[in-house]
Amino acid sequence: MDEFKLRFVPLGGVVGVTKNMYVYELYKGGKLEDILIVDCGIGFPDIDNENINYVIPDISYLKDKVSKIRAILLSHGHEDHTMALPYYYKDLGEPPVYTGKLTTAFVKNDFKEFGIPIKINEVDVNKTYTFGNFKADFIRMTHSIPDTLHLFIKTPIGNIYHGTDFKLDLTPPYGSPPDFHAISKLSSEGVLCLFSDCLGAETPGLTLSESAIGESFENEIKNTPGKFIMTTFSSNISRIRQCIESSVKYQRKIVFLGRSMRENTNIAREIGYLPFKNNLFVDDRTLRKTPPNKLTFIVAGSQGQINSALTKLATDQNVNIKIGKGDKVVFSSDPIPGNEAEVYKLIEKLMIKGADVVYPDIKERLHASGHGNQEDLKLLMRLVKSNFLIPIGGTIRHQRQYMKLAKQLGYKEHNVFLLNEGDSVWIDKSRMLLGEKIKTKTIYVSNEGTISDKIALK
Ligand SMILES: [Zn+2]
């Protein structure tokens, strides 16, 4: 009988945190039968060039294998897991895409902007899907965006648990907690390898629940005499909803500022994820009629981005809204590593304007990470009980730390694989072996949207 073999090829998302794209290949008798792709996201360049918008995975490796791609599964709606898809959908042979409800809405919107159609299916977590010789179950998980899913991939040689970005939030403010029952039930069939988020592997304990933030918003709003301004990631719909609910208690109207914030909250409202009456939301024109202490601004730009709505507020570039004494600005986010200088500059600019600025360094519970800490990561290892482990979505630092956690649970070093981009791993019933290296280039996307492996100097 021809033996099946499974190969895993990460085209992004290992060593770097972003640009997630993972390829699973099934071979029978040495011949490639089926390919399943998980995620297809953007990343950020490690060079400073104002012509470059972002980077995307290099898919040249897949060029002569397109006919074998059975489906693309998207774990959640963050840009570093989805936003490269419109660039490559045609090249990948337009396979069907499967994902959760909010992700479907976000991705449809991205494709609309590109003016191209997409075959996208909202999944049912109670169903098992078949993609060639692969089968997959989708498991409800928690993260910093609703409708995050983990994937349980069944292959003729054994099962894979694909656990991208997650934290184990036992009390999410909306939506379901992680489906522990499904994780242990599916895993009881045996798991060859757990691919796990490892970004929180340096931080002890369990991750703070998203619910804790709602209470903080209320405390901050209560004693704000002027405008209340909250900034966070515009995809964090649960965070935004908690801020709106706290504002409603103090009779404040809501203003969204920034393109991504407006767009994402519009989509969330369309699918019922921000269930508030239309008259709660105020736009720039009707703003002047509402007193400052009856206004909450939910603003994009928590990373200090130069053209963001928050930077415009801080530098008087917004003609309708002035920041001053009595106003409060809450940063419900941590700076992404590398952005610290810009974020602190922005905080200082807002302070100089006279605003009271609070941020996670000086006050607890203003932000909860979307990534599991050490105990979250270990708990998933315990539940899945896989033979092998591969940390994904982290840098070498996080991978090494993940290895230490695995050892605490009795894993041997040779059962944990720390991968680089383009490394491939062969998996059969009893062992895993590093395969040949896949050559990948850095692919840049310019501000005009053109793709190139060379940097345009304009
Ligand atoms: Zn994410």
Tell me the CA–centroid distance for residue 78 and ligand 1, in Å.
5
- What is the reported pLDDT for 152? 98
**Considering the entire predicted model, what is its pTM?**
0.96
- What is the reported pLDDT for 1? 52
Tell me the CA–centroid distance for residue 420 and ligand 1, in Å.
20
- What is the reported pLDDT for 83? 97
Q: Which residues of the chain have pLDDT under 70?
A: 1-2, 456-458
Opening angle at CA 140, ends 137 and 146, nearest 5: 130
Q: Which residue's structure tokens are 């619910």?
A: 211
Tell me the CA–centroid distance for residue 151 and ligand 1, in Å.
14
- What is the reported pLDDT for 2? 63
Tell me the CA–centroid distance for residue 143 and ligand 1, in Å.
7
Tell me the CA–centroid distance for residue 54 and ligand 1, in Å.
17
Query: Which residue in 109, 142, 136, 111 sits closest to 123, CA to CA?
Result: 136
- What is the reported pLDDT for 281? 96
Tell me the CA–centroid distance for residue 31 and ligand 1, in Å.
34
Query: Which residue in 450, 443, 410, 385 sits closest to 61, CA to CA?
Result: 443
Q: How far is CA 433 from CA 141, 249, 436, in A?
A: 30, 57, 10
Tell me the CA–centroid distance for residue 335 and ligand 1, in Å.
15
- What is the reported pLDDT for 212? 96
pLDDT digits (tens, 9 = 90+) for 306-356: 899 999 999 999 989 999 999 999 999 999 888 999 999 999 999 999 999
Name the residues annotated as catalytic: 197, 371
Asked if 299 and 231 touch (Cβ cutoff 8 Å), the reply is yes
Q: Which residues pair with 69 in a beta bridge?
A: 35
